A and B are shown apart, each in its own frame.
Chain A
Amino acid sequence: MPKKVQLKYEWNWAYRIEHWVHVASMIILVFTGFYIHWPFCLAKCPYCDFNRFLHFVSMYTLIIGLAIRVYMAFFSRFYADWKDFSIIQNIKGAPEMVAYYTFLKGEHKEYRKYNPLQAFTYLSWAGLIIIQALTGLALYTGDVFGLFSSQSAFGWINRLLGGEGFTRILHFLIMWYFIITAVVHVYMSLLQTLVKRDRTFQSMFTGYKLSSATGKKR
């Protein structure tokens, strides 16, 4: 029996722009970050200082982007989604989702926007962006937004962690967390699109998703 499907406006322009700004700055950050970790181009090609400049600019973008995203979570007139990140709700829902993804269960509950595993991942991204910003600023010797000395404001982080070397390692390992979860994120959205045929993947471009009217709503 064919289900009744309808187009649903899932993401407004603000959410979509915000998403792609994050994607762009993350990609630049990871690329330039690897370069800073191990400058792989030789004398003839790009410049370390320009590379670092890009890294810093992208991080500023990401920090501002996160601030806007948090604002949207509470005050978006399109859809303020802060309730979807309720930790207690999501802990309750998580086992079912894990069972679904490990093929122990054939179906799972439908969620408004994010299933519990998604919610946790996005929440961890928000937290880790903040930690990346802090560790990054602790390694930075310039002025934050040109206003105050980064070292005097964030130098304590290096001391807390045992020195610049350890701050650097933490910063580096958290980057790997972002890479891994981002890859999983893309895979999951593709999987969802293929399994449910609901245009999840496309919705981040177009804003529209197919929604089955019979789907249970939480």
Chain B
Amino acid sequence: MRKEYGLAARDLVDTLRYSSIKRRDFLRFCGVTAGLLGLSEAYIPKIAHAIEKGTKRPPVVWLNFASDTGCTESLIKATYPNAADLVLDILSVDYNETIMAAAGQQVEEILQKSLKDGNYILVIEGGIPTKHGYGMIAGKDMMDIAKEFAPKAIAILAVGSCATHGGVPAANPNPSAIKGVSAVLGDAYKGKIVNLDLCPVNVEVLVAVIVNYLLFKKLPELDVYGRPKTFYGQLIHDNCERRAHFDAGRFVERFGTEEEALGYCLYKMGCKGPMTYAPCPKILYNDRISWCIKAGAPCIGCGEQGWTDKFAGFYERLPDVSIPGFKGVEFTADKIGLAAGVATAVGIAAHAIASSKRIKKGGEE
């Protein structure tokens, strides 16, 4: 079924007929996307037109590397109308190992054809092992596949934390030396790679970036980490629905308490919202049903570069500090401060006692 659907270039009318997407739902999707991109209502027909242009849509090649496929999961579970059809057909995903029906030889053919034609939007999900033999598809190192596909892409979207900077698979000790797409492809691709941090990627953001491309033929404005400023420009803490509790000093101290049931601020439970720039409080997840903090869990900072190591432990206020040179020895900043404070107090007391002679002498003069 899927094979017959996704591969042939078909116009939207067919797509709509086959996949039971209602016109109204489709326009609603266009409206949501316009909102995400900060465009006025007047753009809704233009977005619809850009998506409907049929065969002229650039194909999307979706490569899966070292990850748990959570971003694909996020992609096929989210967004109305009928997410799978919308994303597969309207966005013309020509190749996605996880959800395509084809296998083996067939798949390789599709992939090679896309590569030959070029001009695709390359979506990369997952980190890239930089050691030979640590992650291979069809006998090829993932790193080589990425380098093979990158040059002919019109845009490269690194989706999810694994692809942007390594994410979970790159966490210490990272035996396969996993890196993010930007790090592997190097500076030559700067400005061409859009990093969509978050674990998993927020599919509305992903779709919005692609639609933005269809509409304006360019990528959105990026910040220094290569993330679209529109989505990654604001602190979670500044948009959080529990912020009023923070400001009023109402905190959850422990899970399973009344404070938790009342939905107080999760700052003391290690919430990294004050350190994380991501669109979660605004766009939410799962068709805008919920997101981490709404669901009662502190933000663990998955939208930031360097997560997970940088934000471990997830339920601590500050990440642990390892002392350079002492591997495995970790201190919290609190302990360091306290130790220094105690040492000072002891030092002063000792010094004062030792100085008593001088003080006495001073008194006699």
Contact = CB atoms under 8 A, between A and B. Distances in A.
Contacts of A49: 247-248
A113 interface: no
A169 B348 contact: no
A47 B348 contact: no
Contact of A46 (B225, B249, B274, B318): B249
Interface residues of B, number: 44
B268 A191 contact: no
B337 A173 contact: yes
Contact of B318 (A2, A103, A172, A197): A172
B321 interface: yes
A163 B333 contact: no
Given A162-B306, A164-B275, A197-B365, A169 B246 contact: no
A196 interface: yes
Nearest to B274: A164
B84 interface: no
B307 to A, nearest CB: 9
A41 interface: yes
Interface string B107-134: 0000000000000000000000000000
Secondary structure at the B interface, as helix, strand, loop or mixed, is helix
Interface residues of A, number: 40
Given A101-B351, A159-B224, A165-B272, A37 B249 contact: no
A81 B226 CA distance: 48
Nearest to B332: A169
A135 to B, nearest CB: 13
B9 to A, nearest CB: 43
Contacts of B289: none
Interface in A51-106: 51, 101, 103
A179 B341 contact: yes
B359 A180 contact: no
Interface in B309-365: 310-311, 317-319, 321, 333, 336-337, 340-341, 344-345, 348, 351-352, 354-355, 358-359, 361-363, 365
In the A-B complex, the 4 residue pairs with the smallest Cβ-Cβ separation, listed nearest first, are A164-B275, A49-B247, A176-B337, A195-B362
Interface of A: 2-3, 37-39, 41-43, 45-49, 51, 101, 103, 141, 156, 159, 162-166, 168-169, 172-173, 175-176, 179-180, 183-184, 187, 191, 194-197
Interface of B: 224-225, 235, 238, 246-251, 267-268, 272, 274-276, 301, 304-306, 310-311, 317-319, 321, 333, 336-337, 340-341, 344-345, 348, 351-352, 354-355, 358-359, 361-363, 365
9 contacts: A48-B248, A103-B354, A162-B310, A169-B319, A173-B337, A176-B337, A184-B344, A191-B359, A196-B362
